[in-house]
Amino acid sequence: MRLGKRDIRLERGGKVYGPWPVAIGDARTPTPTGTFQVTNKVVNPVYASTRTGKVTGTVGPNGPLGDRWLGFKTAGPNQFGIHGTPSAWAWTVSSRAAVTNGCVRMFHEHVRKLFDLVDVGTPVVITR
């Protein structure tokens, strides 16, 4: 993933999938850079606030994390991931905004494709 271009792609076996647009972390909660691995994959993830612990009951495409989650880094109570975006926040991806709490937001159709192509342990490389 390239933060400067605000896009993500997958390179596998000489083939490139993407690049797809993304929204990234804002200046206070930046998306971490470095080399990580996919640590978990979740269909219909449940969102719990790292500040309050409150769990949001809505899951699936209209939930805060969309219907796919690819976790790649844990820091204290925070886990960073690549996830879907409910339609109300789709503008953040189309404008490639820096507005998230450090995660990487993608359109549903893009994150679903990525989710199907990667396994736990797949490298996640995030550069500036």
Parent domain of 53: 7-126
Total domains in the fold of the chain: 1
Q: Is residue 16 assigned to a domain?
A: yes
Q: Is residue 104 assigned to a domain?
A: yes
Q: Is residue 2 assigned to a domain?
A: no
Q: Is residue 112 assigned to a domain?
A: yes
What 45-50 contacts at long range (C-beta under 8 Å, 24+ apart), as own/partner pairs, is 45/69, 45/81, 45/83, 50/77, 50/78, 50/101
Q: Is residue 40 assigned to a domain?
A: yes
Q: Is residue 1 assigned to a domain?
A: no
**How many Cβ atoms from other residues are within 10 Å of residue 85's Cβ?**
25
Q: Is residue 88 assigned to a domain?
A: yes
pLDDT per residue as tens digits for the range 51-88: 788 898 889 999 999 999 999 998 877 899 999 999 99
Q: Is residue 75 assigned to a domain?
A: yes
pLDDT per residue as tens digits for the range 78-115: 899 999 999 999 999 999 999 999 999 999 999 999 99
The values of phi and psi at residue 110, to 5°, are -75, -45
> Is this model's pTM higher than 0.75 or not?
yes
Q: What is the DSSP letter of 28?
A: S
Specify the CATH number for the domain of residue 86: 2.40.440.10
Question: For residues 115 and 41, is the Cβ–Cβ distance under 8 A?
Answer: yes
